Amino acid sequence: MRELQQEIRALAREKKAIILAHNYQPPEIQDVADLTGDSLELSLKAAQTEAEVIVFCGVRFMAETAAIVCPDKLVVFPRPEAGCEMADMITVEDVEALKAKYPKAPVVTYVNSYVEIKAVSDICCTSANSINVVKSLAAKEIIFLPDMNLARYTQRFFPDKKIYFHEGFCPFHDVLTVEEVKKAKEAHPQAVFMAHPECRPEVIDLADAVRSTSGMLRFARESEAREFIVGTEVGLLYPLKKQNPDKEFYPASEKMLCKAMKIISLEDLKRALETLSPVVRVPEDIRKRAYRAVARMLEIPRS
């Protein structure tokens, strides 16, 4: 494996490529990447990099976001079939129906969506900045999609606004139940419970911290606590333990496993670098419209 990783690093240098990997990717992919991060960090990095080629290890909407912000770079996505079950839950017709119902409400679209959906949106958000994005809008009524759980979590911070949402969800976060969290807390009474905002509201109610994946990494590093129950996709356990070898991390549920995030192998990555393919292509008219929504999000200050 080490040899393959060294070959990949040499190829990345030769092709002037940067390898970006999401925090849920398999350990060997995270270890060979130039940068790992959450959706917001990876979008920002893609927007700022001077590399000519971006090789994206994550799911399709993430690679698409890189292609939206970098039209003159080559965005290579080793396994195009790696989709996102939440992103699959909404169509442009669904968005148009919500717009017709609430004509004054701007559309806030979670980046976990495909480019066609972003193209009919006003602004994007991620799990790390949904609160700041909604705060940036003067409107009192907002359409939020496709994740109903992130919408309902964000609504908690805006008692004077009404957030209408599409009923999409992530099957690997929505699966976590109150009973499982309570059981994990009983088994680890000293542990702090961190939840991703894609979890159900009643699970969020039990959380000591609600964070994006990189937010959880920061929280665990800075916390005095020694034990953590992790309420997100199990791939995050690897960087958590790597960054905090003296702390203990327990998955809230072993069912929180996103298969699409585990598709890319080192062999796929090597082949993608050798051939600089498959490439993510986004039709230019759709890209331009989606770009407005993504760029508007990227301008929002991080807190």
Binding residue numbers for iminosuccinate: 22, 39, 110-112, 127, 196-198, 213
In the bound state with ligand SF4, the residue whose beta carbon lies nearer, of 31 and 85, is 85
Q: How far is the CB of 30 from ligand SF4 (least distance, A)?
A: 15
Q: Which does 38 bind (CB under 5 to 8 A by kind): ligand SF4, ligand 13P, none?
A: ligand 13P
163 binds ligand SF4 (CB under 6 A): no
Counted residue by residue, the chain has a size of: 303
Q: How far is CA 146 from CA 102, 107, 156, 255, in A?
A: 16, 10, 17, 22
Q: Does 67 bind ligand SF4 (CB under 6 A)?
A: no
Angle between helices 39-48 and 60-69 (to 10 degrees): 30
Ranges within 168-207 binding ligand SF4 (CB under 6 A): 170, 172
Distance CA 258, CA 171 (A): 8
Crossing angle between the packed helical segments 60-69 and 284-298, to the nearest 10 degrees: 90
Annotated binding site for [4Fe-4S] cluster: 84, 170, 258
From ligand SF4, ligand 13P, none, interface partner of 114 (C-beta below 5 to 8 A by class):
none
Q: List the single partner that 260 binds among ligand SF4, ligand 13P, none, CB under 5 to 8 Å by kind.
A: ligand SF4
- The residue (of 180 and 233) whose beta carbon lies closer to ligand 13P is 233
129 forms part of the interface with ligand 13P (CB under 6 A): no
Considering only 74, 261, 280, 297, the residue that binds ligand SF4 (CB under 6 A) is 261
Does position 84 bind ligand SF4 by CB under 6 A?
yes
127 interacts with, out of ligand 13P, ligand SF4, none, CB within 5 to 8 A per kind: ligand 13P
Please return the burial class of 140, using the count of CB atoms within 10 Å of its CB with bins 0-12, 13-18 and 19+: exposed
Start-to-end C-alpha separation, the chain? 38
Cα–Cα distance for residue pair 67/254, rounded to 1 Å: 33
Burial (Cβ within 10 Å: 0-12, 13-18, ≥19) of residue 159: exposed
Nearer to ligand SF4, 86 or 290 (CB): 86
Q: Which of residues 22-41 bind ligand 13P (CB under 6 A)?
A: 23, 38-39
User: Can you spell out the DSSP letters for 176-214?
Assistant: --HHHHHHHHHH-TTPEEEE-TTS-HHHHTT-SEE--HH
**How many helices and strands, by DSSP H and E, does the chain display?**
15, 12
Alpha carbon 97 to chain centroid distance? Answer: 26
112 belongs to the binding site for ligand SF4 (CB under 6 A) = yes
Residue closer to ligand SF4 by CB (options 86, 266) is 86
Identify which of residues 80 and 283 has a Cβ nearer to ligand 13P in the complex: 80
Phi and psi torsions of 82, nearest 5°:
-75, 95
214 binds ligand SF4 (CB under 6 A): no
Under rule CB under 6 A, how many of the chain's residues touch ligand SF4?
11
Q: Which positions touch ligand SF4 (CB under 6 A)?
A: 59, 84-86, 112, 170, 172, 233, 258, 260-261
Q: Which positions touch ligand 13P (CB under 6 A)?
A: 23, 38-39, 112, 126-127, 170, 198, 212-213, 233
